Amino acid sequence: RLFRRVLKPKGEVRVMIYDGDRSKHTQSRVPITEWWTQEEFGAMALTAGFREEYVGSYPCSAPWRPDCFAACYRLTCLPKSPS
């Protein structure tokens, strides 16, 4: 929700998440690792007042995080509902 507060009108946020649809969910050496599916991330974006658009993915594997893909999204603000 912080993004929504500081984003200029018609601005956008670009986000990379671990792709829960394509990645193998392995134990990682990274202290906090979360994988989200497109459906899960879309629900979180909607809750925060954003429209999400999937813009692609890329492999992001490393020895400490094998078989991993990153999913990239573009977030734009949904119109505010009248109060």
In the numeric block, the tokens 């974006």 are attached to 45
The dihedral over CA atoms of 55, 61, 67, 68, expressed in degrees to the nearest 10, equals -40
Which among 55, 14, 21 is positioned nearest to 38, based on CA atoms?
21
pLDDT digit string (tens) for the chain, length 83 residues? 677 788 887 889 999 998 888 887 766 666 677 889 999 999 999 998 899 999 999 998 887 777 888 999 999 998 876 66
Which among 16, 40, 28 is positioned nearest to 67, based on CA atoms?
28
In the numeric block, the tokens 């020895």 are attached to 63
Q: What is the model's pTM?
A: 0.80
Question: Distance between CA atoms of 34 and 40, rounded to whole angstroms?
Answer: 11
